[in-house]
Amino acid sequence: GAVVSQHPSRVICKSGTSVKIECRSLDFQATTMFWYRQFPKKSLMLMATSNEGSKATYEQGVEKDKFLINHASLTLSTLTVTSAHPEDSSFYICSAREPYSDEQFFGPGTRLTVL
Amino acid sequence: GNSVTQMEGPVTLSEEAFLTINCTYTATGYPSLFWYVQYPGEGLQLLLKATKADDKGSNKGFEATYRKETTSFHLEKGSVQVSDSAVYFCALPRGNAGNMLTFGGGTRLMVKP
């Protein structure tokens, strides 16, 4: 099946710094990628939908100036958490959808810890 | 939009026990239905799916049948193993566009030897 990677898998940063997370589709071109946030023992919360070459569509309540999403190519989307605070600590998961398919392929996740 | 409800966990079973995790949905039309599994510390993996009513998805001994009469997509396995310990998510497209997925709350399964 299709493979999606994320980098880094784990990051620890100081409060006030910015962190960039990469999501790559390794063997297919993903016109659409999704970013999720997962709190401990909770389900996934969709943060935004990222379309290649256009601005991301954010879910209600998600600050677009804090969570910057860039989908510069058909195989790469990045999520930048700006001026991170401890409450931003979470597990961030991306997924990618193949064109003409309703199936999403998920990355392994990035655990962000903000001290 | 479409929505999904699944049973809360945790579900604790002994090895070789029978597993059922309930999932019911509300949807317009007949969207594809999915079960995803999340092993500790990892992202989600597609476990199985069904694309139309009465379809049965199966993988790794797990099965789920798309039942429109009861709007259900229950996950079953006849004999669980310790390695099946994970969190299981039922999901379906949020709307008719089939673009975004909406997930159930997840059910944690713990299998004891």
pLDDT greater than 80 at residue A54 = yes
Picking from B44, B104, B105, the nearest residue to A106 by CB comes out as B44
| Cα–Cα dist B35/A62, whole Å | 26
Per CB-CB distance under 8 Å, the chain A contacts of B32 are 102-103
Task: Tell me which residue of A81, A82, A80, A110 sits closest to A94, measured CA to CA.
Answer: A110
Task: Tell me which residue of B86, B75, B88 sits closest to B111, measured CA to CA.
Answer: B86
Q: Which residues pair with B45 in a beta bridge?
A: B37
Per CB-CB distance under 8 Å, the chain A contacts of B104 are 43
Cα dihedral across residues A19, A25, A30, A33: positive or negative: negative
Tokens 């008719």 sit on residue: B96
Task: Tell me which residue of A41, A25, A45, A43 sits closest to A33, measured CA to CA.
Answer: A25
Give the model's pLDDT for residue B96: 59
Higher pLDDT, B107 or A40: B107
Peptide bond into B10 cis (omega under 30): yes
pLDDT tens string for chain B (113 positions)?
889 999 888 999 999 999 999 999 999 888 899 999 999 888 889 999 999 999 999 999 999 999 999 999 999 999 999 999 999 999 998 875 556 888 999 999 999 99
